[in-house]
């Protein structure tokens, strides 16, 4: 049986050419993996914007942005590197403020975070040594008094 020729095949188009002409159904992609989008993600991550905030700036829902990030390694890496750069910048600024301005609060906080320093609570307790023989004598006297005041035991019927 002979296969029928389609109009496209008779025009000399291959199946790849035909597939390229087919319009994809569904909504067009709102996020594009381009220089401007990546640059925006980097800048926002550097100031520690959350993924929800970045999604809002890009005009998409958080779920859409998260899915897009999981499908695009370059976007995910851009976000992570921007966030790390922001952390380093923040740490550097904290050290500068602490050291240049001699800010005692910042110096104490940094010492606790990075040097294992802590506040010392001055707790002292006085311990008295008690002569236990006197306590034993007193305990025996109390026991004797209790025994003298107890009524005689009741007789039990077998």
Residues 98, 106: contact at Cβ < 8 Å? yes
pTM equals: 0.53
Tens digit of pLDDT per residue, the chain (158 long)?
555 555 444 556 677 765 655 555 656 668 889 999 999 999 999 999 999 999 999 999 999 999 999 999 999 999 999 999 999 998 888 888 888 888 888 888 888 887 888 887 777 777 777 667 777 787 888 887 777 776 666 676 76
Count helices and strands in the chain by DSSP H and E runs? 8, 0
Is residue 64 left, alpha or beta, with left meaning phi > 0 and alpha meaning psi from -120 to 50? alpha
Residues 80, 43: contact at Cβ < 8 Å? no
């Amino acid at each position: 049986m002979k296969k029928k020729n389609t109009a496209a095949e008779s025009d000399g188009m291959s199946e790849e050419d035909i597939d390229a002409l087919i319009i994809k159904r569904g909504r067009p992609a709102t996020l594009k993996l381009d220089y401007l989008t990546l640059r925006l993600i980097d800048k926002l991550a550097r100031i520690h914007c959350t993924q929800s905030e970045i999604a809002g700036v890009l005009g998409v829902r958080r779920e859409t942005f998260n899915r897009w990030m999981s499908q695009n390694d370059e976007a995910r890496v851009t976000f992570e590197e921007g966030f790390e750069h922001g952390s380093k910048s923040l740490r550097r600024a904290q050290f500068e403020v602490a050291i240049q301005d001699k800010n005692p609060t910042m110096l104490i906080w940094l010492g606790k975070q990075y040097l294992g320093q802590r506040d010392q609570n001055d707790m002292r307790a006085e311990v008295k040594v008690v002569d236990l023989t006197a306590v034993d004598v007193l305990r025996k006297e109390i026991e004797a008094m209790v025994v003298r005041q107890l009524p005689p035991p009741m007789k039990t019927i077998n």
